[in-house]
Amino acid sequence: MRRILIMIFILLLSVVCWSYSFLNTQPRATSTSTSRPPTYTVIPPSSTSTNTPTSTQVEAPKSTATFTPLPPAGSFTVLYHPDDVLYVGDQVSLEVISPSGINMNDASLLVQIDPPGGPVLGPVNFAPWGIQGRDEATLVWAWDTQVQEPGAHTLSFSVQPQGYSWTEQVTLLPDEQMPPNQADASWASTQTQCCTVFYITHTASERDLSSLIGLIDEQARLSMDEMGSNFTEPITITILPRLLGHGGFTSTDISVSYLDRNYAANSWQMVVHHEMIHTIDGHLGGDFRPNIFVEGLAVYMAGGHYKPEPFMPRAAALMEKYLNMYIPLESLADDFYASQHEIGYLEGASLIEYMVRTYGWEAFSAFYRDIHISQGENQSKAIDSALQSHFSISFAQLEKDFQAALSHEPDTLAWVDDVSFSVVYYDTLRHYQELLDPSAYFRTAWLMDNQAMRQRSIVADYLRHPHTPQNLAIETLFITAGQQISKAQYSDASATLDIINAVLDNIELGFPDPFSIAKMSSDYFSISVLLQQQGYEVQSIDIDGNEAIAFASNSKEPALLELHLTFSGSEWILSPL
């Protein structure tokens, strides 16, 4: 089973659309725009706030741990899935992450539930997981809690032959306490002109299904026309009700996130289009398709990455004259998914646009489908050989010509702010995911086999996600920052992103009131707390002075409700519906 899961995950990595890494330094956005001054200012950490509830989680902690003996480099970390809380009846998975700096070669994990008489999970070996290659032992859907009693359970962990052992207390809540929208949720499907679409009931995707399937068929038609494909096999699409990575990936089928609080700030139809191109591209084949062209082609054909965008002027903004963020093509080709995500995808799409302009689509396509690689050879070397064969040009010369074309783009300056803020926005988003929603973080994302989930009737792994007031406040702040960037309100966006980063820094430092750093973050957190106490899950917040409008949902139905709030001088008050 472990070997099969590893093979599936390796396949995902070859085509995953959100695989990227941080640059060694993250640029701070600077604005040359004339947008109105920011509404909110950052309060120094030593200040106190008159309107900030303590940022404690409303959910009871799932586990506490005592390690005996401690490994030399620290304690093991255990992640439980589904995220958030566990209920009786869940099929629970565990990720046991080894501390850095210790040798886990040939190590295996055993877990016993409620020793000495409870069931034993494993053994399972430690192995690399995800793009990061994190060393962990992974038990997938290993603990079936259907016959367990609600309440605290003791899990005893043992790592052999190293001899590490410890116990953790895990709480299973009674299944009758599960929110109605989760308790009643199940897999469903519909057939469109192009695709078999799977979704989970009682979610935003079911609510908006009629419009979504229309968009899916439209993007499939456009993608097939662009690629000149007669691909007629039904495409399988799974719509996820939570954000993983940036919201889209492709393996044997397509998975796309659709949710109201989509803090990835992307166009859903463009994500679908992007993944459609991957599916058709894979069908058309080729001996070896380098990552820089696989991802660049999907962005190029979709007309943008997260939104419609002109590629060459935006790529020109990366040059030394402007942002000095340009990644040399050889480095990008050889380690594409470890490069800064937004920059890599933009350069890949722009390079394809330049080659199509220069040589024509047919010539580019013939080159792309005729790239070959030898064992141990770098991707840049394989590209160079194909370029020599098809165009009598080296990869280095192609880059010189490409950079020369970028230097003559007339509209570059207009895109400098947008490119800079895109990089900062998504680097901040990844920081948030790594810190407060690790299952969504691209390098170690909790990506499961959708078909196996349907066969097992598992929906909780996608339905549940961290939704403390901390998570809700930060994600709604991201929504606001994304809207500000889309409106070219760069001064406002800079202030909002600075606040988000300050809050994240405070959380990492263990500040008891991390949202007190600014009035804006304090307001968003206070509203998130208030609405959650009233039975709502906030999806977006818009504050104008002492008035606020929030869109929220409840646990009974996925309909969005418009809520009005007023600040009384000391607290936010929800107006009656």
Give me the mean pLDDT over the 15-37 stretch. Answer: 35
| 3-state secondary structure (DSSP) of residue 47 | coil
Least confident segment among 32-41, 147-156, 459-468: 32-41
Question: Minimal CA–CA distance to 332: which of 346, 316, 317?
Answer: 346
The CA R_g of the chain, rounded to the nearest whole Å, is: 25
Question: What does the pLDDT look like over 104-159, one tens digit per residue?
Answer: 889 999 999 999 999 999 999 999 988 778 899 999 999 999 999 999 999 999 99
Average predicted confidence (pLDDT) for the chain: 89
Q: Of how many residues is the chain composed?
A: 577
pLDDT at 9 > cutoff 90: no
Please say whether the beta carbons of 193 and 237 come within 8 A: no
Q: Check residue 518 and report its DSSP letter.
A: B
pLDDT at 34 > cutoff 70: no
Please say whether the beta carbons of 252 and 258 come within 8 A: no
Q: Which residue's entry shows tokens 């097939």?
A: 224
Q: Kind of pairing, strands 254-257 and 235-240?
A: parallel
| 3-state secondary structure (DSSP) of residue 567 | strand
DSSP 92-103: EEEEEEPPTTS-
Least confident segment among 61-65, 107-111, 220-224, 462-466: 61-65
Largest alpha-carbon pair distance within the chain? 73
% the chain with pLDDT above 90: 81
Please say whether the beta carbons of 380 and 288 come within 8 A: no
Question: What does the pLDDT look like over 307-358, one tens digit per residue?
Answer: 999 999 999 999 999 999 999 999 999 999 889 999 999 999 999 999 999 9
pLDDT at 47 > cutoff 80: no
pLDDT at 260 > cutoff 60: yes
Output the pLDDT for position 72: 57
Phi, psi of 63 (to 5 degrees): -155, 155
Output the pLDDT for position 71: 62
pLDDT at 66 > cutoff 50: no
pLDDT at 25 > cutoff 50: no
pLDDT at 508 > cutoff 50: yes
Please say whether the beta carbons of 253 and 238 come within 8 A: yes
DSSP 161-203: TTTEEEEEEEEEEPGGGS-HHHHT--EEEEE-SSEEEEEESSS
Burial of 186-222, coded b for 16+ CB within 10 Å and e otherwise, reads ebbeeebebbebbbbbbbbbbbbbeebbeebeebbeb
Q: Going from the N-terminus, what domains does the chain have, and what CATH number goes with each?
A: 63-178 (2.60.40.10)
Give the residue, 493 or 447, on which the prediction is more confident: 493
Give me the mean pLDDT over the 250-274 stretch. Answer: 95
Output the pLDDT for position 36: 33
Give the residue, 422 or 232, on which the prediction is more confident: 422
Please say whether the beta carbons of 444 and 132 come within 8 A: yes
Taking CB atoms within 8 Å and a gap of at least 24, the contacts of 356-359 are 356/300, 358/401, 359/391
pLDDT at 565 > cutoff 90: yes
pLDDT at 40 > cutoff 80: no
Give me the mean pLDDT over the 92-108 stretch. Answer: 92
Please say whether the beta carbons of 151 and 103 come within 8 A: no
Name the band, by pLDDT with cuts 50, 70 and 90, for residue 174: very high
Please say whether the beta carbons of 455 and 240 come within 8 A: no
Question: What does the pLDDT look like over 537-553, one tens digit per residue?
Answer: 999 999 999 999 999 99
Output the pLDDT for position 33: 35
Output the pLDDT for position 557: 82
Phi, psi of 240 (to 5 degrees): -95, 135
Output the pLDDT for position 571: 96
Question: What does the pLDDT look like over 283-301, one tens digit per residue?
Answer: 999 999 999 999 999 999 9
Residue 16's Cα: distance from chain center in Å? 11
The residues, any chain, with a CB within 8 Å of residue 246's CB and separated by 6 or more, are: 17, 18, 264, 266, 271, 306, 341, 426, 442
Output the pLDDT for position 193: 93
pLDDT at 39 > cutoff 60: no
pLDDT at 369 > cutoff 60: yes
Give me the mean pLDDT over the 513-525 stretch. Answer: 97
- For residue 14, the one-letter residue type is S
Q: Check residue 42 and report its DSSP letter.
A: B
* Burial category of 265 from C-beta neighbours within 10 Å (exposed 0-12, middle 13-18, buried 19 and up): buried
Output the pLDDT for position 443: 82
Output the pLDDT for position 435: 95
Give me the mean pLDDT over the 250-266 stretch. Answer: 95
Name the band, by pLDDT with cuts 50, 70 and 90, for residue 102: confident
Give me the mean pLDDT over the 518-535 stretch. Answer: 98
Ranges assigned E (strand) in 456-532: none
Give me the mean pLDDT over the 16-42 stretch. Answer: 36
Please say whether the beta carbons of 159 and 123 come within 8 A: no
